Amino acid sequence: MTEFWRLPATDIAALVRAREASAAEVAKDALARLDAANPAINAVVDHRPEEVLAEAARVDAAIARGEDPGPMAGVPVTIKVNADQKGFATTNGLRIQKDAIAAEDNPVVANLRNAGAVILGRTNTPAFSLRWFTKNSLHGHTKNPWDPAITPGGSSGGAAAATAAGIGAIGHGTDIGGSIRYPAYACGIHGLRPTLGRIPAINLTQPDRHIGGQIMAVHGPLARTIADVKLAFHAMAARDPREPWWAPAPMVGPPAPKRVALCVKPEGLATVPDVEAALRDAASRLEKAGWTVEEAPLPPLRRPAELQALLWLAETRRGFNKAIAAEADPDATFIYAQMEALCPAPDLHAFMDALQARAGFLREWMLFFERFPLALCPVSAELPFPDQCDVESMESFRRIMEAQLTQVGLPLMGLPGLTVTTGLVGRTPVGVQLLAGRYREDLLLDAGAAIEAAGVPATPVEPVR
């Protein structure tokens, strides 16, 4: 029997579209893999096998009628529990939302279905999707399949752990401060944070977000190959009129010089030697593939990171304190207290000043990308952290916040970023981050493919128990 769970999404879709395999066969194999691998990592926290098989049957029926099943025909995907999926609770890792049953799909979920994907299950997130670690009081603790002693990342830690372990070919994630890019890094796969407005997404189980969340939070794919990231990204980006930020930008932009700015220690970041080695290795891979790489400082990220926190917490402070108290998740309570201590509540003038400053920082970055269409920098200054070390002390939390500078700074400008896994340090994954201008995910994916071609960790990985 073919082990479809080992195959990339591009291969699965090609087999199903050519009728060399049925979506039902793929789905049964995916469910078997979920049963075998998930108990060790607790990445998928809700799934209904009968619905998975019914979705696969619809794909097969469309093919039998001679209809186009879509570019992701039969591909098993997972959905993070903070996105509406019809008939399921949008828990966001919270006991207080365990009954928030969605009446309709979030546009990103609908787009995946319309592309022929089969939704395999729903993946874990920390309470309130608040951390770079994945544990909550409702669904429990997600483990990294490479090594349970290190974080799987967060907040899309369930998506990354599942994808790395072969539970679905594609994981859906969200990113307002690295929540796609960091789990991909920690689990040895790739993850794309798209440009603001690329992928339509809205949860109708909740009120619309305030302006901070609207201009910084995005949805995107995690996958084991760059080709799969591209396939899922194109499917997720289809128009949906429910999303007012969606932009009809072309998926491929005009030709750009193959010039990359390498920045190992942006704004004095204390990048550790193993991460620096990965960056210089990736730069060498790009040079061998025809890119010109030049070491250069990046535009500001430190002040944008401060403003990102200001705008995000300005949103969460409106009733969020009550939700934190009601949920009473000890880790979330500790983390939120640390975040508030780092970012005092703004008055109206400070809030307006932050939005005004955003335009200037975005202008700086867009001018930078005129000279260097791509930037190569750390995902994190350190290798993936020991699991749960963010709640050990205030000092540990602040060390982690500093290491994650590039993740937190980028969302203020709504810019895209791609994590590319590059190798292992022992059993610990390492990788790099590529940045580009608005709507230039095509450049990120082209460069990511060149880096990937020179070698990445072998996945799917059998979870370490």
Question: Is the distance from CB of 423 to CB of 354 less than 8 angstroms?
Answer: no
Determine whether 155 is an active site residue.
yes
Q: Closest Cα to residue 431, out of 417, 442, 443?
A: 417
- Please compute, for residue 9, the number of CA atoms within 13 A of its CA located in the half-sphere on the CB side: 33
Burial class (CB in 10 A: 0-12, 13-18, 19+), 31: buried
Read off the amino acid at residue 384: P
Q: Answer yes or no: are the C-beta atoms of 448 and 230 closer than 8 Å.
A: no
Rounded CA-CA distance 278/264 in Å is 10
199 SS3 class: coil
Cβ contacts of residue 300 below 8 Å, gap of 6+?
Answer: 267, 361, 364, 409
Please give the Cα distance from 158 to 45 (Å, whole number). Answer: 9
- 98 noted as active-site residue: no
Q: Which helix (H) or strand (E) holds 64?
A: helix 49-64
Whether 80 is catalytic: yes
CA distance 221 to 250: 18
Which one of the listed residues 22, 80, 129, 143 is annotated catalytic?
80
170: left (phi over 0), alpha (psi -120 to 50) or beta: beta
The tokens describing 378, both together, are 């750390």
Query: One of 22, 129, 156, 179 is an active-site residue; which one?
Result: 179
266/245 Cα distance (integer angstroms): 30
- Which residues lie closer than 8 Å to 254 by C-beta, 6 or more apart? none
The catalytically annotated residue of 129, 155, 156, 380 is: 155
> For residue 174, what are the CA distances in angstroms to 20, 147, 293, 322, 399?
34, 23, 30, 24, 23
Classify residue 216 as left (phi > 0), alpha (psi -120 to 50) or beta: alpha
Amino acid at 374: L
Question: Do 223 and 449 meet the contact criterion of CB atoms below 8 Å apart?
Answer: no
What is the spatial distance between Cα 254 and Cα 21, in angstroms, rounded to a whole number? 38
Q: Give the ranges where 258-404 is alpha helix by DSSP (H).
A: 273-288, 302-316, 320-327, 330-342, 348-371, 394-403
Active site residues: 80, 155, 179
